[in-house]
């Protein structure tokens, strides 16, 4: 036992003294540590040892999927597989979908997919991290308003929400239905109300925005008030006169208010747009300057009313 230990120790000493690596290992310089050979193979594809001094393969042939003079470098994600990895590590046919770079070892960045990562991900639920880098499929479905495996299809007009499964309400025009939320951006068809135009007008109301009330009930009430007393015929007579007059008056008032609102909104809007442009042009100027510049335009209608 003691003797074999001595022999082993001597053998180890010999190796170290000779500064040679064991078969299948190599080192770069005398004092460097020995390391494993690369995937050198012979003409039959059998693993062979590399040059213990420097690690190169002789003959210079690597196992499939490896490249470099030492066959230490692993091929990337070549389209068609490792057999299309060339001796310098590039891929003869380009990269597999989801990878890019000369060596096809870089994954697509978040939000990109496909060949050369050239395609842009759709509207995946959960964001770009849920977009498959190879084919672009969204693993958790689409955000509301979008559909398809890649979530690149906008809901068709009249549909909205998750997977475009929801049917829009009675929007004035079906293309005015917000495809994410179902809100009718241009108002409702006559007879309907609510942000999504899903509610019928209340009893006795009708028309656009349910703004019109039942003619009979409304007119009769006003007729009574106007006349105070009198025959049934007179009631009806007054009703016929009072109702159109009142409707015209109310309509005029509404139109006036709407116009005032629109003008105010427009002026305000225009003013802010103007000051934004001004801001870009004269960054150094004080904020008050813009207020002053904008004011005359804005104040006019306020004085008038
Ligand atoms: C790799 O080798 C191929 C042909 O063998 C050549 O067309 C290509 O330019 C080389 N690429 C690099 C990065 O050396």
Residue closest to 180 by CA, chosen among 130, 123, 120: 123
pLDDT at 47: 95
Atom from ligand 1 closest to the CA of residue 103: 13
Tens place of pLDDT per residue across the chain (305 aa) = 455 655 555 555 555 545 689 999 999 888 899 999 999 999 999 999 999 999 999 888 999 999 999 999 999 999 999 999 999 999 999 999 999 999 999 999 999 999 999 999 999 999 999 999 999 999 999 999 999 999 999 999 999 999 999 999 999 998 999 999 999 999 999 999 999 999 999 999 999 889 888 764 454 444 333 333 333 333 333 344 445 555 556 567 666 677 776 666 666 655 444 444 443 333 333 333 333 333 333 333 444 44
pLDDT at 8: 54
pLDDT at 136: 97
Q: Which residue has the tokens 């109300």?
A: 193
**Do 174 and 186 form a contact (C-beta atoms < 8 A)?**
no
| Residue 13, token pair as written in the block | 């000493």
Atom from ligand 1 closest to the CA of residue 88: 1
Which residues lie below 8 Å from residue 243, measured CB to CB, with a gap of 6+?
A: 215, 218, 219, 222, 223
CA of residue 108 to ligand 1 center, whole Å: 22
| Residue 121, token pair as written in the block | 């991900």
Ligand 1 environment, Cβ below 6 A? 86, 88, 90, 102
pLDDT at 127: 97
pLDDT at 297: 36
pLDDT at 251: 67
SS3 67: strand
Nearest CA to ligand 1 atom 8: 90
CA of residue 226 to ligand 1 center, whole Å: 98
CA of residue 88 to ligand 1 center, whole Å: 6
d(CA 120, CA 114): 9
Q: Is 59 left (phi over 0), alpha (psi -120 to 50) or beta?
A: beta
């Amino acid at each position: 036992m003691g003797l074999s230990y001595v022999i082993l120790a001597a053998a180890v000493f010999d190796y170290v003294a000779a500064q040679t690596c064991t078969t299948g290992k190599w080192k770069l310089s005398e004092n460097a540590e020995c390391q494993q050979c690369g995937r050198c193979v012979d003409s039959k594809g059998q693993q062979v040892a590399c040059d213990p001094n420097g690690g190169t393969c002789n003959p210079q042939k690597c196992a499939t999927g490896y490249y470099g003079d030492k066959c230490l470098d692993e091929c990337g994600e070549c389209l068609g597989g490792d057999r299309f990895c060339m001796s310098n590590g590039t891929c003869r046919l380009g990269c597999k979908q989801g990878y890019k770079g000369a060596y096809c070892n870089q994954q697509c960045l978040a939000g990109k997919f496909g060949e050369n990562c050239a395609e842009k991900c759709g509207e995946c639920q959960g964001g770009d991290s849920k977009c498959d880098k190879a084919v672009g499929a969204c693993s958790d479905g689409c955000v509301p308003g979008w559909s398809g495996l890649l979530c690149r299809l906008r809901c068709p007009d009249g549909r909205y929400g998750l997977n475009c499964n929801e049917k829009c309400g009675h929007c004035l025009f079906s293309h005015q239905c917000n495809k994410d939320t179902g809100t009718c951006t241009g108002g409702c068809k006559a007879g309907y109300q609510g942000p999504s135009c899903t509610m019928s007008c209340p009893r006795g109301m009708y028309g656009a925005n349910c703004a019109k009330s039942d003619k009979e009930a409304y007119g009769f009430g006003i007729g009574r008030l106007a006349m105070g007393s009198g025959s049934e015929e007179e009631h009806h007579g007054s009703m016929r006169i009072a109702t159109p007059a009142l409707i015209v008056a109310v309509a005029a008032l509404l139109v006036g208010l709407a116009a005032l609102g629109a003008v105010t909104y427009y002026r305000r809007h225009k003013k802010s747009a103007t000051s934004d442009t001004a801001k870009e042009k004269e960054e150094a100027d004080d904020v008050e300057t813009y207020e002053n510049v904008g004011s005359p335009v804005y104040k006019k209608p306020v004085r008038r009313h």
